[in-house]
Amino acid sequence: RKKGEIDKAISIHESLLDQEKVDLSSFDREMIELELAQDFMSAGMLERALDPLSGLLKSEHANEALAMTLHIYEQTREWQKGIDAYLNTKASAISDKNRQLISHFYCEIAEAPDPAKNKESVYKRALKVHSDCIRSLVSLAKLYLVLNQKQKSRELIVKILDKDPNF
């Protein structure tokens, strides 16, 4: 793959997974599936990359699989599918970076021009996932200003200043 021979890398990884003669540990098999997903992503076949990744969301490689899955959904702007993948992942394996990205996915959903969405609850879900998400705090503070709930907005602004004074 590093030499630009993506089709050859895909072929090698698929054949390793298909061979029943090769006795692979579950750890090695999962590593090969991660590499295969990376091959597909490098080739621009994002949908095919999701197949091996979906089975890895509850494995030892859950965090790596989730990071790759979120990257795909970020590129395709499928925020809800990314959130669903996050919800199907083993919670103990999720890194802070992935939680932060999911928080931004929730913000993207809240900022979509869909009047049926309760923006306040979506921003609060974003904060449940990653409590330090400045974007969620700022958006929620702006929403409270629009709703004429100035005290709540003021409290969030103070919280933002406590978390990130440079902001």
Report pLDDT digits (tens) over 127-146: 999 998 999 999 999 999 99
Asked if the model's pLDDT at residue 21 lies above 80, the reply is no
Q: What confidence score (pLDDT) does residue 162 get?
A: 92
Q: What confidence score (pLDDT) does residue 13 get?
A: 77
Q: What confidence score (pLDDT) does residue 39 get?
A: 83
Instruction: Quote the Cα angle for 73-105-162, to 5°.
Output: 145
Q: Of 107, 129, 131, which Cα lies nearest the Cα of 117?
A: 107
Are 129 and 105 in contact by the 8 Å Cβ rule? The answer is no
Are 86 and 106 in contact by the 8 Å Cβ rule? The answer is no
Q: How far is CA 145 from CA 46, 135, 136, 142, 156, in A?
A: 40, 15, 14, 5, 11
Asked if the model's pLDDT at residue 117 lies above 90, the reply is no
Asked if the model's pLDDT at residue 90 lies above 90, the reply is no
Q: Of 166, 156, 165, 167, which Cα lies nearest the Cα of 131?
A: 156
| pLDDT: which is higher, 2 or 8 | 8
- d(Cα 52, Cα 37) in Å, to the nearest integer? 6
- d(Cα 10, Cα 16) in Å, to the nearest integer? 10
Percent of the chain whose pLDDT exceeds 90:
51
Asked if the model's pLDDT at residue 161 lies above 70, the reply is yes
Q: What mean pLDDT, rounded, does the chain reach?
A: 87
- List all residues 6 or more positions away from 15 whose beta carbon is below 8 Å from its beta carbon: none
Q: What is the pTM of this model?
A: 0.84
Q: What confidence score (pLDDT) does residue 80 get?
A: 95
